Amino acid sequence: MNALASMALLIDLYPSLAQVQPAPAAPESGLQPFEVPANTVLFSENAPCQGFPLVLQGEIKVSRHSGDGRSLELYRVVPGELCLVSSACLFRAQPLTAFGITTKASTLLLVKPDVFTRWLEQPAFRDEVLGLFAERMADLTSLIDAVAFQRLDRRLAAALLGRGQQLNLTHQTLADELGTVREMVTRLLRRFEREGWVSLGREQIQIVNGAALRTLVSTQPT
């Protein structure tokens, strides 16, 4: 994607940037699109923030590591959305509190910290970033509720739904998403298989009875 097309797409995805100075297309903004393959680490926990990522194509998964090597997915950034962790670190000039990795081939722009600060002086962009905080905080509150209060089998069933009938992913990937260990996910998936809800293969999970999974998700905890 060339620079001209990138800037047009950027304004289409993030309309508030049409009002900022320096303009995204201005040389002093320093914005240049770059492409990265899937599974590229864009930023790491406890590292200094190098800038504010804007997604033109693709997706970034933002997660936190635990001391025992597990990870918990916090949220994903797709075109038209903003990264809460990056903005929070730039606001407070502190190290990053999570890591970000691309889930697919992606096209990104990286806004330098000083340009991001100048953009925040524009009410439209500042309101968009503050709106992001409100939305992401609601998402994270829901995540905390799920981790703290919902049974793992219900959370696993919810994670399986909405991905189609054939899921090409590993038990470890699901464990990372749910913030648990692979052994627990494998144990539950085998239980689901015994119930006739799924069929397991090598790095594949086939949904056999989606209705039963949805019933489990909707079951009120006792």
Burial of 58 (0-12, 13-18, 19+ CB in 10 A): buried
Q: How far apart are CA 204 and CA 80, in angstroms?
A: 31
103: Cβ contacts below 8 Å, ≥ 6 apart? 38, 39, 58, 59, 60, 61, 76
* 145 band by pLDDT with thresholds 50, 70 and 90: low
SS3 at position 109: strand
Q: Could you write out the three-class secondary structure of 37-85?
A: CCCCEEECCCCCCCCEEEEEECCEEEEEECCCCCEEEEEEECCCCCCHH
92: Cβ contacts below 8 Å, ≥ 6 apart? none
Q: How far apart are CA 38 and CA 35, in angstroms?
A: 10
The model's pLDDT over 90-106, given as tens digits with 9 standing for 90+, comes to 888 889 989 999 999 99
* 135 band by pLDDT with thresholds 50, 70 and 90: confident
DSSP code per residue over 161-189: TTS-SEE---HHHHHHHHTS-HHHHHHHH
The model's pLDDT over 37-87, given as tens digits with 9 standing for 90+, comes to 999 999 999 999 999 999 999 999 999 887 666 777 888 899 999 898 998
pTM for the structure as a whole:
0.67
